[in-house]
A and B are shown apart, each in its own frame.
Chain A
Amino acid sequence: MSQALQITRARRKNPMMGLTPLIDMIFLLLLFFLLGSDFVSYGQSRLAPPRGTGGSESASQPAIVTLSEAGKLHWNGAPVSSEKLAQDVAALVARHDDQLVVLMPAGAAEVQKISDTLDFLVEAGAASITLERDVFDIDLADF
């Protein structure tokens, strides 16, 4: 009589894998990316150097746009609506590609208004825009 050798193997219990450390790590990753990310889309406007300091000079006479503190525009000294200014700038740019437009903001004009005017001039077709100080907007404290 032969007796078959019986090996009894103890059944291993299938232990549940702990998910808590995994969840902790995922939450930490989520926090890291949430705090380390920026959802705002930034851009930048290039400010050309002032005239006479090495910037490119236009062959044509520069067109001067004045921006008042209240946001009103003047074209070569005369008050002008934004629509008329856009037409005039587009006509000038059509004649001279490198037409220089000089924007002269009042000292108390806000940066946002300057940015709006720069956008407006670029949309009108002006490729060469520079900022200059308004010569009539003199502050005695500077002297």
Chain B
Amino acid sequence: MKINRQRREIKSIDLLPLINVVFLLILFVLIAGRPTTNHPQQIEVATSTQDSEYTGAAFAVWLKQDDMFYLSEGESVTLGELADYVKSAGIVEQGLPVELIADRRAHAKPLLAFRAAMAKAGVGEIRLKTQYEGAAQ
């Protein structure tokens, strides 16, 4: 007995809706997102209710949860090394601010020591990076 099966025609999938949706996604990401800053992934900065404009700085220091200072991934640096660096890199001469990207779980002691060391080195302004979380109720 022969069974005649009708061959189904393979219809091509209409790709235009897919392309439309993906274009919309790109538009959404472009409008809602901002270009990534040099923010280190492992540092959660303190939240703030003050909607201050973030401008960054030419020189950024990381203060991680272990209360140690870093310039990048790798070995920690001491406050003396940081002070020498800001002097030799011309940050003090040009009057540039220094940005401190501090983990919210780090402690006040290294923060205050950093500020004192930078002031001693001649840095006029330190900007503490925060994350805006909306106005307080």
Contact = CB atoms under 8 A, between A and B. Distances in A.
A140 to B, nearest CB: 13
A19 B108 contact: no
Nearest to B112: A133
Contacts, number: 161
B89 interface: no
B102 interface: yes
Interface size class of A (residues with CB under 8 A): 35 or more
Contacts of A48: 125
Chain A at the B interface: mostly helix, strand, loop or mixed? mixed
Given A23-B18, A27-B22, A38-B36, A115 B47 contact: yes
A115 B128 CA distance: 9
B29 interface: yes
A111 B76 CA distance: 19
Given A23-B15, A37-B35, A119 B111 contact: no
Interface stretch (B3-11, B49-57, B78-86): B49-57
Interface residues of B, number: 54
A46 B18 CA distance: 47
Given A45-B128, A49-B124, A36 B36 contact: yes
A41 to B, nearest CB: 4
A39 B32 contact: yes
A42 B131 contact: yes
Interface string B81-112: 00000000000000000011011111111011
A50 B53 CA distance: 23
A89 to B, nearest CB: 15
Interface of B: 15, 18-19, 22-23, 25-26, 29-30, 32-37, 39, 45-55, 63, 99-100, 102-109, 111-112, 115-116, 119-120, 124-132, 136
A110 B129 contact: no
Interface in A6-26: 19, 22-23, 26
Interface string A19-60: 100110011011001101111111111111110011000000
Nearest to A44: B127
A33 B104 contact: no
Contact of A114 (B34, B53, B111, B127): B111
A123 B135 CA distance: 10
